[in-house]
């Protein structure tokens, strides 16, 4: 697996799960703008991997959405540096020599039919890889995306989920491509509520990593409470990583999907019979998904 990511608090949780899960061989991280500027994403990814004791490459990718000349991250959700109230995040190591899209194309060729890419940020790197190599999607075993709100309201607007909204054009190109794609959106991830007590229990079992996730999550939990009135946060990105290897925990609909590219519906994910069919998660065994996350991450130091 390669995780395409914009760490981000929930990204850190998903990466920790991937490292802890015995069924996942994490080969690399590729980074993109989103929750943070892309340079922050890469720094945060390298720092997290070092803290996890994992030596895999970090390839830096897109800094801007298609057609944009600037971008402002979601600091109000994830904090000014991406990890909540933590502002002094060390620079550890360096990025891979290849940019993310080239690295993804190279790895998909090297592991043809075996590589899973789990994209948990805006889809710009994935669209770039498809533009670089039309065979990229067919070389993958599957692409699993955390994004979209096909059968429910959005979270950044009434119509759109944040990852899709932040580069709607790239997302629309990805959904137009012929490949094995699974969309894990708000339709299911909002059901995976992780409470303050869950974080405390996790920190008691995994003192270093569980404690780190608990600490950075305080900012995120405060946002959820103030913005949505929820006593907990959704395991958005972790749910997508879990879906890569535990498909039996999800109910799937096979439909084509397109993305609204302008107007008040910008970023909305809509069913589209003219598009290649992808698998859209419509139902979830939320207790089993939350339990898997807790059980695996609790085994980390």
Instruction: Enumerate the active-site residues.
Output: 6, 236
Tokens standing for 167? Answer: 């580069």
Q: What is the dihedral of CA 19, 21, 23, 29, to 10 degrees?
A: -30
Helix (H) or strand (E) holding 103: helix 100-110
**DSSP tag of 10:** H
What DSSP line would sit under 127-180, residue for residue? HHHHHH-TTHHHHSSEEEEE---SSS--SSSSS--HHHHHTHHHHHHHHHS-S-
Q: Could you tell me which residues come within 8 angstroms of residue 213 by beta carbon, excluding any fewer than 6 positions away?
A: 12, 13, 16, 199, 202, 203, 297
> How does DSSP classify residue 27?
-
Strand, helix or coil at 234? strand
Is omega for the bond preceding 8 within 30 degrees of 0, making it cis? yes
Give the β-pairing of 2-5 and 28-31: parallel
Strands laid side by side in the 142-146 sheet: 58-60, 28-31, 2-5, 116-119, 142-146, 181-184, 277-284, 250-259, 269-271
Whether the CB-CB separation of 9 and 47 falls below 8 Å is answered with no
How far is it, in rounded angstroms, from Cα 138 to Cα 179?
5
């Amino acid at each position: 697996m390669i995780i395409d990511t914009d760490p981000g608090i929930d990204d850190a949780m998903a990466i920790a799960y991937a490292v802890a899960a015995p069924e996942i061989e994490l080969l690399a991280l590729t980074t993109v703008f989103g929750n943070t500027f892309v340079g922050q994403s890469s720094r945060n990814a390298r720092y997290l991997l070092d803290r996890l004791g994992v030596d895999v490459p970090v390839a830096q990718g897109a800094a801007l959405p298609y057609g944009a000349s600037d971008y402002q991250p979601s600091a109000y959700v994830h904090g000014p540096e991406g990890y909540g109230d933590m502002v002094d995040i060390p620079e550890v190591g360096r990025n891979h020599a290849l940019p993310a899209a080239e690295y993804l194309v190279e790895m998909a060729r090297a592991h043809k039919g075996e590589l899973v890419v789990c994209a948990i940020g805006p889809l710009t790197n994935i669209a770039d890889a498809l533009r670089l190599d039309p065979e990229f999607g067919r070389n993958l075993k599957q692409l699993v995306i955390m994004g979209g709100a096909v059968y429910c309201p959005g979270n950044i607007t009434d119509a759109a989920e944040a990852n899709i909204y932040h580069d709607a054009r790239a997302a629309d190109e990805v959904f137009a491509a012929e490949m094995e794609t699974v969309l894990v959106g708000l339709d299911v991830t909002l059901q995976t509520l992780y409470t303050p007590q869950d974080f405390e229990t996790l920190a008691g079992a995994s003192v270093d990593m569980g404690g780190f996730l608990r600490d950075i999550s305080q900012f995120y939990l405060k946002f959820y409470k103030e913005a949505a009135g929820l006593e907990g946060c959704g395991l958005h990105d972790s749910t997508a990583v879990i879906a890569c290897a535990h498909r039996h925990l999800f109910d799937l609909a096979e439909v084509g999907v397109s993305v609204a590219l302008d107007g008040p519906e910008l970023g909305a994910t809509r069913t589209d019979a003219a598009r290649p069919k992808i698998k859209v998660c419509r139902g979830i065994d939320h207790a089993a998904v939350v339990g898997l996350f807790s059980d695996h991450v609790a085994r980390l130091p």
